[in-house]
Structure 1
Amino acid sequence: MNQAVLVKLAWEMCSSNQEWSILYRHRFGSCNSPTQRYFKSSIGPGIKSNWHTAMSNSIWLVGEGKSINFWLDNWLGTILVDSINIPDEVHPSLLAKVADFTHHYKWTIPKLIHDLFPQIASNITIIFITNKKD
């Protein structure tokens, strides 16, 4: 299969709410990384081998923030866990969405992030929150 199609499928699998993408996310892995388990599939290995390409060249456009993981998705230009060096073993417990850090379309950045990472906090406040879907 064409590599461009596989990269597109990897992105669609991560970002779409269509039934096929939800099924494949449960079967092959979350948006953050594909599963390490093997499943017999004609397209699974192709998507898996192009996963990094799709994710490293993509950025979420923030709407209301309900679909975007605050820590693990690239919505700020870099992934926050990478920017602030959060250990890999903590990643599975980071479930907060961007919407969890907003109130009435305004940011509510935790004081700890603001104090320890002022540049990141500043970059966050530049992002405009809307009532549209991510």
Structure 2
Amino acid sequence: MIELKDVDLRTDPAAQRYIKDETVAVEFAAGDGELMSLEGPNRYLRGDALITGSTGERWVVSRDRFDAKYVPAEPSLAHGAPGPYRNRPAIVLAKQMDAPFSIARSAAGDVLRGTAGDWVMQYAPGDYGVVQALRFAKVYRRAD
């Protein structure tokens, strides 16, 4: 398994720019805990967003990142209330991997794992994710 460290997809010629387009179901954590995603553990704090994607996968987004990245999908939904949300269109860098790999979500963060064909994502310097190939094909499109 390849252990990715100090990755910067901005300088990787195999990385491409993609945009996510998805409506997700959101709950907000009542206390601290851990959610097991397909790629590995996601620890969360009270108030963080517990997200279920359109393809059934679950993951965690810290509250400050959630507030910046998601908007209510229905006009009647107050921001911060549980319910459907859409991601704000944002370009991310992604690279499809040809071997099993692991990467920390952030410095000293949870370690995520992917298999050959899955995608390593870079949302910002030092901010990473892993998306399974089937899910990636359903919710991401090339930005270029």
The normalised TM-score by structure 2 is 0.25
Q: Which has the higher helix share?
A: 1
Q: Which has the higher strand share?
A: 2
Q: Which has the larger radius of gyration?
A: 1
